[in-house]
Amino acid sequence: MLAVAWFALFQLRHDLSGRGIACVSGSPLVIETQVLKGIGKSRELVLWMCDAEKHDADIDPEAYTCPDETTGHFYRGRTSVSLVDAVTKNVINTVPVTASWPNDGTFDIPYKIAGFFYHVAGPLNKYHEGKPTIMWLKDYNGDGEATEFALFEASNCTIVETTLFGYSRPQDRVIQYPIHLLQREGSITKPRDRPWVDHLFINKPESPGHWKWQYQYHVGGLTHFDIRYVPAKEEFEGEIVIDPEPL
C-alpha cells in the first residue's frame, strides 16, 4: 500500500513537472491534492512548496502552545496552490500562499499535528497527532459548493488569523478570497483590506455567508465583526467596530 502511494506521488510530481508547477532550483514538494467534485469539469487543487524544509518541532505533545496548534510539526517554504486540469495535468493558474505578517515569503504547513484547527482523521499516535488534511474542502462562503479551504495562523493565544482559498466557477481559477472591511473606532474610520482576518473562518456563520460576532482582546472594549460574502464580487465585505476602552 505504501509503495502504491509513493508511486502515485512520484507520478504526480513527474506529470506536473514542466507544466506550471516547478521551482527555480530543486524539485517542488507536492504536499496534497484534492479533486473538486460537482463542478462539471475535471479539476483538482494542488498544494505545493519550493525550498521546503522539514521541521520536527520541539513540542510537548501533551501541552501544545497556541502557535503550535496551527503549525505542529511542519514544512516551511515558498508555498502555492494550483488549479490543475485533472485529465491533462496542465496547470490552469497558481496563487502564492503568504503569511499573515510580512516575512521572507515562506509559509508553514503542518505534516503532523493534533486536530485543533486542521482536520486530522488518523491514524493517530498516542498524543492524538496525525497527518492533517490541509485542503479540507467545505462550503465556507455559503454558495452551496464545497470547494473552499481555510488556512490558520496563531502567533499567540489571543489571535488566530484565518484566510480562505477556493475554486471560482465563473473564472475557472483558484483564488484567495479578498476581504474588504471598514474599521470604525470612535470618530476614526479606515479601510482594512487584507485576505487574513482574526477568527473569521473558525466562527460559525449566523446564516450562509454571513458572520457576526464580538471578541474581547486583552485590553480595550469589545470588538464587533459583521462580515458577508458577496457572490457577485467573489469577495467578503463588512465592518469592524471597536468599542472605546473602559474607564
Q: Is the pLDDT of residue 6 over 50?
A: no
What count of residues does the chain have? 247
Average pLDDT over residues 192-218: 95
What pLDDT is recorded for position 12? 47
Most confident residue range from 65-69, 121-125, 134-138, 157-161: 134-138
Q: Is the pLDDT of residue 242 over 70?
A: yes
Q: Is the pLDDT of residue 46 over 90?
A: yes
Q: Write down the pTM of the prediction.
A: 0.90
What pLDDT is recorded for position 1? 44
Eight-class DSSP state of 201? G
Average pLDDT over residues 22-32: 94
Average pLDDT over residues 169-178: 98
Distance from the first to the final alpha carbon of the chain: 64
Q: Is the pLDDT of residue 10 over 90?
A: no
Cis omega (within 30 of 0) for bond into 170: no
Residue 42 C-beta-side C-alpha neighbours within 13 Å: 7
Proportion of the chain above pLDDT 90, given as a percent? 75
In terms of pLDDT, which residue wins out, 115 or 15?
115
Proportion of the chain above pLDDT 70, given as a percent? 90
Query: If we measure between CA atoms, which residue out of 152, 148, 119 comes closest to residue 208?
Result: 148
The ranges assigned to domains in the chain are 2-176, 178-247
For residue range 222-235, list pLDDT tens digits in order: 999 999 999 999 99
Q: Is the pLDDT of residue 53 over 90?
A: yes
For residue range 86-135, list pLDDT tens digits in order: 999 999 999 999 998 878 899 999 999 988 999 998 788 888 899 999 99
Instruction: Write the CA distances from 122 to 47, 77, 87, 199, integer angstroms.
Output: 20, 25, 29, 26
Q: Is the pLDDT of residue 3 over 80?
A: no
Type and span of the H or E element at 10: helix 2-16
Q: Specify burial of residue 23 (Cβ count, 10 A radius: 0-12, 13-18, 19+).
A: middle
- Under DSSP, is residue 185 helix (H, G, I), strand (E, B) or coil? strand
Q: Specify burial of residue 3 (Cβ count, 10 A radius: 0-12, 13-18, 19+).
A: exposed
Name the average pLDDT for the chain. Answer: 90
Q: Is the pLDDT of residue 217 over 90?
A: no
